[in-house]
Amino acid sequence: MVLPIDDALPALREALRTCSSAVLEAPPGAGKTTRVPLALLQEPWMDGQRVVMLEPRRLAARAAAHYMAQQLGEQVGGTVGYRVRGETRVSARTRIEVVTEGVLSRLLSADATLDGYGAVLFDEYHERSLQGDLGLALVLETQQVRDDLRVLVMSATLDGDAVAELLRTEAGPAPVVRSSGRMFPIVTHHRPPRSDEKLEATVSRVVRDALTECEGDVLVFLPGMGEQRRVEERLVGSVAGNVRVHVLHGTMPLAEQDAALAAAPPGMRKVVLSTSVAETSLTVEGVRVVVDGGLSRVPRHDVTAGLTRLHTLRVSRASADQRRGRAGRVAPGVCYRLWDVHEEHGFLASSRPEIIDADLSGLALELADAGISDPTVLRWLDVPRAGPFAQARTLLLQLGALDATGRITAHGRRMAALPLAPRLAHLVLVAAERGALSMGAAIAALLEERDVIRAEGFARPPADLRLRTELLQRGGDGGALGMYGARADRDGVRRVKQSAIDIERRVAGAGVQAAAGREPTDDVGALLALAFPDRVAQRRAGSEGRYLLRNGSGAALVKGDSLYDEPYLAVAELEGQPPEYRIVRGAPLSLEDIRTDFGEQIVRADVVEWDERTRSVKAVQRVSLGAITLEEKPQRTPDAESVRAALCAQLVRLGADTWPWREGALHLRERLAFLHAQDASWPNVSSEALVATLPEWLAPYLDGVRTWAQLEQVDWHEALLSLVPWNQRAALDRLAPTHMEVPSGSRITLDYTDPTAPVLAVKLQEVFGWTSTPMLFDGRVPLTLHLLSPAQRPVQVTRDLAGFWKSSYFEVRKELRGRYPRHPWPDDPLTATATRRAKPRGT
């Protein structure tokens, strides 16, 4: 049953009074985000405890807190407060804390029982963010020791029954309360782009049409800040003077966010260019028109490359409906969808949960901080995949966050306490210890934000991260970038500088001390490598701008980049696809820095392996860091067993059909295959069997062999014969002879290519007098006779020689006697003398 929110609230309160968990399904406009927390404060079971409500975005968390405070006639920080990254507005009087999802993990890290909190609310859970899934899993674990802790999952477009099953207790699935929302009629128009239009041109044109055709303000959904900037440039100056254009995304200053969300002044209209941040939770006052570009930019983690890239994808049907609903919140509205209506059949029903595609290093660190090494012990809608999770823990081990047993270290706990990705947390902590906190914070802030260097025209920004740190030091003066065909994004520089200051403050507040006796360093490459140890890169020998990463991936620089000739790099950002990524941001790295910072991970080993370039076994003493070789010198006396193993390994990789068989060895192999086909006690010489047993039968014949040319000289026949037990060798020539003597006296080689049907190819005149088909394998397998003409062409293929003489021979005789008159064609082949010669000419 679907109830208006006023009627749903009593049902929801009753559900939480009798059960520890519940699910609230409510569409946009239902008022759940602000009315539910306020209603729960009145419940006796709260007993003065606080409510914590999770929002997936900082912007939504601040907006929800401000709205609830206004409803109570208070300022934020009183009864209602919020905690988001870099900003906290709570007090001793606060009863409702609106927090972003990462903040909940830190609250649980500080107190796993959430003492003082009576209820945890997950808002907009349908977005299925990684932090939301992690937070719910950890809170459900907390419920095991706090049966009085209430959990409420609120969603607009989610399978509530699946979540109710996840929240199941001994009494059964959690109750589901369904509420209706207030939604005015919305007219939907489809305006696909013209064939020659880019997205920003289509959006700008449709927005101008909407301002002319419709009343109210316009909310535009775009995939990212680049598209926002380009559409803003097209609209400003091309719309009426009473129309203000606002940009809305999560990284902009609070005052600008508030201006975008607030109602337009009397007589004015506004156009809000938003990312998906305005899809849920937020209310943009005055909006009656939505223009939906139909795209969203989402992170996707590439497990092979060990990196996360943003992908621009079509929105799901659920997201498109959410966006459309924004037009009908305050009055009848209009939605312009910038795609053809038929395309919607190809849209996904809902967005993929982030936990399926995300980098799991942050999740792995938070679980380790909670004492959990195996995520399957928790309850999830989608369990973290084993491969990416194992890769994440390997990275944490490299960062020093986990010890050799997989438990979190003291350094790992300090990393988990910072609101940074594990890579960046490790960077700033170690930078602080080295007296380079300012530089470490600057690098971390640069990597968190979009690039502060913009390319002009078709050029690409230079990859050198040092240019970015210099921009911060010069306050955004990018004059020197002109030589690279680039410019500085001054707004971006301003945001990054403020973020770096916030990071410095947090790390300094953690009391990290510089290591005694260590010289401070501002070496960008050395610090960057701390965050990306798996992307230490070495320039490939003999090639310009092409690198091998420690993790085994290939990468390249754009020709002419300022880093083009550097022997080693620390790489922070890559683009493209395997087998070779493009290096977007990185910095030079010295071999000395590699040895200093990764000494414990550098491996020194005697390596004996096949070298395809020289087609020989290479034996070296190698110093390596992952896939890259730092130093290599030849071994004087390599271990013979290791050489044989390297040869065998190469032969296994190639497969038996490419080995340098000699003719005699090939013939023996075919004979043995024939015998095995008749009797399984004979050796199996199939390609698979020979590869599987290669070290057993070939290795003894490889002494002194190191090159392919020497492999060709190996006695392959004798090696293969070693597979035949002594008690079978005596029978080999009897059961599967190499040759067959025919009536003419010729000894003809038998062909065992087909192990089920050995062949004797012989001239017809040489078998006169043979009355029956010759047999192999002690008379049990007939030979297949290819009876040849004098020109050595088959005239008959048979296993029934007697039958051939009685019938087919005379047809053959009739056809060929005139063509080959010098060869005998007797009336009775059974009594004729066999011969391999023709009559002399003239006789």
Same domain membership, residue 100 and residue 234: no
In this prediction, residue 87 carries a pLDDT of 84
Of 355, 378, 401, which closes a domain?
355
User: 500: closest CA among 432, 573, 561, 548?
Assistant: 432
Residue 798: pLDDT over 70: yes
- Distance (Å, whole) CA 554 – CA 536: 11
Could you list the residue range(s) of the whole structural domain that residue 210 is in?
A: 186-355
The stretch 596-617 carries a mean pLDDT of 93
In this prediction, residue 280 carries a pLDDT of 67
User: 66: closest CA among 79, 50, 49?
Assistant: 79
Reported confidence tier of residue 262, pLDDT bands at 50, 70, 90: confident
Same domain membership, residue 514 and residue 387: no
In this prediction, residue 486 carries a pLDDT of 77
Q: Is the pTM higher than 0.75?
A: no
Torsion region of 641: left, alpha or beta (phi above 0 gives left; psi -120 to 50 gives alpha): alpha
Let me know the angle formed at the C-alpha of 139 by 135 and 145, rounded to the nearest 5 degrees: 160
Is 373 a member of any domain?
Answer: yes
Residue 756: pLDDT over 70: yes
In this prediction, residue 187 carries a pLDDT of 94
In this prediction, residue 1 carries a pLDDT of 47
Q: Which of 110-119, 173-182, 205-214, 614-623 has the lowest mean pLDDT?
A: 173-182
Residue 219: pLDDT over 90: yes
Residue 281: pLDDT over 70: no
Is 779 a member of any domain?
Answer: yes
Is 822 a member of any domain?
Answer: no
Same domain membership, residue 712 and residue 678: yes
> What is the 8-class DSSP label of residue 156?
S
Reported confidence tier of residue 626, pLDDT bands at 50, 70, 90: very high
Q: Report long-range pairs for 593-599 (Cβ below 8 Å, ≥24 apart).
A: 593/523, 593/525, 593/526, 593/529, 594/529, 594/536, 594/568, 594/625, 594/630, 595/630, 596/526, 597/526, 597/529, 597/530, 598/529, 598/533, 598/536, 598/625
Beta strand pairing call for 794-798 and 295-302: unpaired
- How many folded domains does the chain comprise? 6
Same domain membership, residue 728 and residue 654: yes
Same domain membership, residue 194 and residue 97: no
Is 825 a member of any domain?
Answer: no
Cα 14 to Cα 22, 156, 281, 314: the distances in Å are: 10, 21, 25, 40
Is the CB of residue 48 less than 8 Å from the CB of residue 202?
Answer: no
The stretch 372-393 carries a mean pLDDT of 92
Same domain membership, residue 437 and residue 394: no
Here the tokens at position 418 are 């910072």
Same domain membership, residue 132 and residue 52: yes
Number of helices (H), then strands (E), in the chain: 29, 34
Of 565, 598, 631, which closes a domain?
598
Same domain membership, residue 244 and residue 96: no
More confident residue, 716 or 59: 716
In this prediction, residue 309 carries a pLDDT of 63
- Distance (Å, whole) CA 307 – CA 326: 34
Here the tokens at position 778 are 């002690």
CATH number at residue 71: 3.40.50.300
Is 747 a member of any domain?
Answer: yes
pLDDT tens digits, residue range 551-580? 999 999 988 888 988 999 999 988 887 788
Rounded to the nearest integer, the mean pLDDT of the chain is: 89
The stretch 217-245 carries a mean pLDDT of 90
* Phi, psi dihedral angles at 780 (to 5 degrees): -105, -15
Reported confidence tier of residue 644, pLDDT bands at 50, 70, 90: very high
Is 243 a member of any domain?
Answer: yes
Same domain membership, residue 800 and residue 695: no
pLDDT tens digits, residue range 2-23? 556 677 888 888 888 888 899 8
Kindly state the percentage of the chain with pLDDT values over 90.
59
Same domain membership, residue 579 and residue 432: yes
Is 190 a member of any domain?
Answer: yes
In this prediction, residue 750 carries a pLDDT of 97
Of 156, 179, 202, which closes a domain?
179
Reported confidence tier of residue 460, pLDDT bands at 50, 70, 90: confident
Is 843 a member of any domain?
Answer: no
pLDDT tens digits, residue range 93-125? 999 999 987 788 888 888 889 999 999 999 888
Same domain membership, residue 609 and residue 594: no
| Concatenated DSSP letters of 53-80 | EEESSHHHHHHHHHHHHHHTT--TTSSE
The stretch 520-535 carries a mean pLDDT of 86
Same domain membership, residue 701 and residue 623: yes
The stretch 332-347 carries a mean pLDDT of 92
